[in-house]
Amino acid sequence: MNMPGIEFLIDRKGRKKAVLINLRKHKLLWEDLFDTYVAHQRRNEPRESLAQVKRMVEAKAKRKTDG
């Protein structure tokens, strides 16, 4: 398959070992790949509920207007 701006590095046995991505051409692809990687790395971190996040945002906004 021809994929302009994407090249695979292949070892002596013909196995794909790495990929080179032209970031000028595929910036959004790289951003999606990186975001997926970060999400995967953080999958076991504690999470906040949507309600808790809303309360934190509202409290921060209130502090900003009060100060």
CA distance 67 to 58: 14
Cα–Cα distance, 33 to 23 (Å, whole number): 12
pLDDT reading at 17 higher than 80 = yes
Query: CB within 8 A of 25, min separation 6: which ones?
Result: 4, 5
Q: What is the pLDDT of residues 27-67, one digit of tens each?
A: 999 999 999 999 999 999 999 999 999 999 999 998 888 76
pLDDT band at 1 (very low <50, low <70, confident <90, very high): confident
Q: Are 30 and 24 in contact (CB under 8 A)?
A: no
* Domain residue spans of the chain: 6-66
Q: Does the reported pTM lie above 0.85? A: no
Burial letters for 20-32: b for 16+ Cβ neighbours within 10 Å, e otherwise?
eeeeeebeeeeee
